[in-house]
Amino acid sequence: MIILAIALSKKNKVTLFEKRKNFGGAWSFFKYKSMYIHNKTNVIVPTKKSEEKHIKNIIKYLKKKFNLKIRRNKKIYKTVSKYKPKNIFIYDIHKIYDHLKKCNIKIINKNVTNISISKKKVFINNFEFDKVFIPTFIALKKVKIDKNFYYFNFKKIISKHLVLISKKKFLKEFYYMENFNNYFDRALLKRRKSLYLFTARIKKRFKHFKHKELIKLSNFGIEKKNLLLSKIFKYENCYRDDSQIKKLNNLNKFKKIKVVDTTQFVSSFKKLKFKAN
Whether 71 is covered by a domain: the verdict is no
Whether 128 is covered by a domain: the verdict is no
Whether 135 is covered by a domain: the verdict is no
Q: What CATH number has the domain bearing residue 170?
A: 3.90.660.10
Answer whether 139's CB lies under 8 Å from 127's CB: no
Average pLDDT over residues 155-167: 96
Whether 113 is covered by a domain: the verdict is no
Whether 8 is covered by a domain: the verdict is no
How many domains does one find in the chain? 1
- For residue 99, pLDDT beyond 70: yes
Q: How many helices (H) and strands (E) does the chain have?
A: 7, 19
Tell me the residue range of the domain where 160 lies.
156-237
DSSP string, 144-164: EETTEEEE---EEEEEEEEEE
Whether 70 is covered by a domain: the verdict is no
Whether 160 is covered by a domain: the verdict is yes
What Å distances lie between residue 63 and 68, 75, 93, 149, CA to CA? Answer: 5, 22, 10, 42
pLDDT tens digits along 63-95: 999 999 999 999 999 999 999 998 899 998 888
**Which pairing describes strands 176-178 and 77-78: parallel, antiparallel, or unpaired?**
parallel
Q: What value does the mean pLDDT of the chain take? A: 92
Whether 248 is covered by a domain: the verdict is no
pLDDT score at 81: 92
Does the predicted model carry a pTM greater than 0.85? yes
pLDDT tens digits along 246-276: 999 999 999 999 999 999 999 999 888 877 6
